[in-house]
Chains A and B, each alone.
Chain A
Amino acid sequence: MSTDLEERFWIDLRPEAAYVGPARIFGAELARQSGVSEEILDDVKVAVGEALSRALNTKALELRVKAVLRDGRLFFEIPQGDGLESSDSSTDRLMAALSLELITVLFEDGEAATSEEGDPVIRFSVPIPSRA
């Protein structure tokens, strides 16, 4: 059943590594409460966590997880900074590439995109099984 109704959720935390874990748990718990199947919850944790780590590495001013529940899917959007990713070593650069790779492999619509306000974001969505 299609509906025009949508619910919006978000959390804002200080842009510090210590808050990546709590923000990741928020994303996973939101998915759980929304009815996302258990086998996908670990993937949500990974994707949210990677997007948050990229946010810090690109000097985001805040650690934010936004989600919208609409038309049977939960749409995540994690704002990124516009600073350069840390590239102290070849390993750091490799990990930055793997970070986005993980998100796009886990969720086929995962992407580095631009928000309606023109800011860099990571987006992906998760299906919500119908509760018929």
Chain B
Amino acid sequence: MAESLLLDTRQSGDWTVVDVRGEVDLYTAPRLKTLLTDLTGSGRNRLAIEFGGVEFMDSTGLGVLISGLKRCREAGGTLALVAPTEPVRKVLGITGLDQVFTIHDDLADVTGS
């Protein structure tokens, strides 16, 4: 079956940038969860999640993001969402989670570079 979720990470100052592309659903979300768990487990707790390439996300994906945010905060960091697409913004808005996450239009607004 074709890969429907692509993940990439890079460092930008204090922030670890996670580039997410494709679809985040019941099938693919565990991979994102594993990545976020590994990052926070290795002490990287300032995460900027780039969502500009995510065409679809369901409640499983929301759960992964909430878990990631909790782990970051427990370690004194945070998790920010960058440039979510309209379908993702709609899901965040309906569930009220747009009030929970810090959402930025541009990565530079998060990392300052």
Contact = CB atoms under 8 A, between A and B. Distances in A.
Given A18-B1, A95-B59, A95-B62, A102 B27 contact: no
Interface string A22-59: 00100000000000000000110110011011001000
A91 B60 CA distance: 10
Interface in B51-65: 56, 58-60, 62-63
A102 to B, nearest CB: 6
B92 to A, nearest CB: 11
B66 A94 contact: yes
A25 B14 CA distance: 39
Interface string B3-37: 01000000000000000000101110000000000
Given A45-B56, A102-B95, A18 B27 contact: yes
B80 interface: no
A50 B90 CA distance: 14
Contacts, number: 65
B67 interface: yes
B108 interface: no
B41 interface: no
Given A42-B87, A98-B95, A101-B94, A17 B26 contact: yes
A105 B94 contact: yes
Interface string A93-127: 01110110110011000000000000000000000
Interface of B: 1, 4, 23, 25-27, 56, 58-60, 62-63, 66-67, 70, 86-87, 90-91, 94-95
